[in-house]
Chains A and B, each alone.
Chain A
């Protein structure tokens, strides 16, 4: 059977999926990036290899996405390297063909994507504000000593959410602490936080956007039923969370790889052996001009594989990526 591998390496999680020719998800792997994109991709590849063993699946195309998409693309030998906005839109419109609005909240990013008649017509992604993303929720769950998985359900237990300032994660936290020290129950505080995040999201990335149904909510934060409920309250619309909400970027990358292969025929996939190679990333500051670019070197088994980060291109000539 032919399989297509999609890899989404984000700030917080790294996801790998394998789909078949009919776009069914055969395998999905969800790992934490933990600041080590290379190692986690290798670990993910090991798990995918393990999962397809004996299933007679041949990887015929590979796509990467997420903030480490270029790095990952070099490591695995990707056929297509695509930004996560396009990847998420492709996956959403595949899963829910008539989708008009995609809400996506990941670890560091939150985005809104508007589609009409199956094509992306507008999008926005947070630029200078990270309040309301998964990392912040993680941090608050840890601070309150509540497993992140239970965070959303606790929010649903609240009868009267308290008001939390959602503009900035630092101020949101102090607001939460103030309310907690006043004696408000933790459920009401968490529910208030969910409302605040949704308010900030809609006012920040969602500003001026025409949010029409069907609305799909995806990304790691979509696991949080409290946030989902807060979205439904704020929008007055039903918010649909797809089955594979947590790996939608990877699914998008796999779908894009599948269509890229149709165009060019042969995959550049380097094989599962990449999980055992020794990849090394080093960096230095180039002093050639006042730009002082930070150049990154990627080498495998001691040989330089790719280099990037410069503005003038004098370091990149080795291999063109992206």
Chain B
């Protein structure tokens, strides 16, 4: 069976490695493009959110490439993404693609279902192989996150920003090719050293911005105009609230994120689905860490982020940290986003100048 999966940030490197080494034929999803978006928009319900549409577009691309089985994550909150696997499957079936959809639910919520599905995927090469593959996959995931964190840290400081991007891309490719924990470690070290060797202004104190919101639009640059790069090139340091490793640790291996949800109290005491409560909690946390500002990314019509957004003014005012919300949808004109980001940085710069003066 030919397997494929949604494309989100750098996760495809790990997912592709994992499935291939469990003994499956993998159809690697292409990087989301305008074509992906157009396909998704054409076949999705109009008011579904942007992640739904991009992922549907990716599915339509991979089934054309021969994928027979699609693997995706489920969900169990009030966010409608929990139904997306089922919705996608029915749309694909209606369009004449008889794909099978394997929706992995969080193991701690649906343990029996989880192991049943896991068993099917692991069967071809057995459990001893699984242990080895998981170790490498985890190492890759950590290395990818380390590279990305370094990229964010260095972007505002390094003079040759394009070169930094290129070294980062080459690092991703080296990590993708690595086939053992040792090889991953070498690839990671080489890339980090190359990044750190670029001339940079280490005295420069960039504006520090926290990036929060719904996971797909936060992690996938195609969905967010590559906002981390735009901000980094404008000279700001971006700290992203979600990374693959911490997300897996908190949602797959343990019931995590409790502390961040606790931080949302008293502004939002209820779980509202998706990353709604996290978004509010992150604002509180970024304020405590003296960040200059926070940018919330929300897919248009995303209920959890709408709830979070309406609570932002209270949290922002109480903790004295500016928050800007950007709704993301089909638009691909970058000008509008740049205008808002530029103005937001102006605002933060003025605020900092005023604080320093007083």
Tell me, in angstroms, the Cα distance from A288 to B198 when the chains sit together: 26
Q: Which residue of A lies closest to B335 (CB)?
A: A67
**Which residue in B33, B300, B310, B339 is a CB contact (below 8 Å) of A290?**
B33
**Which residue in A67, A123, A207, A209 is a CB contact (below 8 Å) of B343?**
A123
Do A119 and B351 have beta carbons less than 8 Å apart?
Answer: yes
Interface size on B, residues (CB 8 A): 39
Do A292 and B335 have beta carbons less than 8 Å apart?
Answer: no
Cβ of A276 under 8 Å from chain B: no
Which residues does chain B contribute within 8 Å of A82, judged by CB atoms? 342, 346
Which residues does chain A contribute within 8 Å of B149, judged by CB atoms? none
Tell me, in angstroms, the Cα distance from A174 to B324 when the chains sit together: 33
Interface size on A, residues (CB 8 A): 28
Do A312 and B342 have beta carbons less than 8 Å apart?
Answer: no
Which of A37-45, A83-91, A136-144 lies at the interface with chain B?
A: A83-91
Do A290 and B340 have beta carbons less than 8 Å apart?
Answer: no
Do A312 and B346 have beta carbons less than 8 Å apart?
Answer: no
Nearest-Cβ distance from residue B167 to partner chain A, whole angstroms: 14
Contact (A83, B312) CB under 8 Å given A120-B347, A292-B34, A311-B229: no
Which residues does chain B contribute within 8 Å of A123, judged by CB atoms? 324, 343-344, 347
Query: What DSSP secondary structure best describes chain B's contact surface?
Result: helix
Cβ of B322 under 8 Å from chain A: yes
What is the 8 Å Cβ interface bit string for chain B, positions 270-302, against chain A (1 contact, 0 not)? Answer: 000000000000000000000000000000100
Which residues does chain A contribute within 8 Å of B322, judged by CB atoms? 121-122
Cβ of A291 under 8 Å from chain B: yes
Q: Which residue of A lies closest to B165 (CB)?
A: A312
Do B31 and A290 have beta carbons less than 8 Å apart?
Answer: yes
What is the 8 Å Cβ interface bit string for chain B, positions 156-182, against chain A (1 contact, 0 not)? Answer: 000001100100000000000000000
Cβ of B116 under 8 Å from chain A: no
Do B343 and A83 have beta carbons less than 8 Å apart?
Answer: yes
Q: What are some 24 contacts across the A-B interface (CB < 8 A)? A: A67-B335, A83-B339, A85-B339, A85-B340, A117-B354, A119-B350, A120-B343, A120-B346, A120-B347, A123-B324, A123-B343, A123-B347, A125-B336, A125-B340, A125-B343, A127-B300, A128-B327, A128-B329, A128-B331, A290-B31, A291-B222, A311-B226, A312-B162, A313-B161
Q: Which 10 A-B pairs rank lowest in CB-CB distance, beginning with the nearest? A: A85-B343, A208-B313, A290-B33, A83-B342, A290-B31, A119-B350, A83-B339, A86-B346, A120-B347, A127-B327
Q: A67-B336, A291-B33 are in contact. List 15 more A-B contacts (CB 8 A).
A: A83-B339, A85-B340, A85-B342, A86-B346, A119-B347, A119-B350, A119-B351, A119-B354, A120-B347, A124-B325, A210-B313, A210-B317, A292-B33, A311-B226, A322-B338
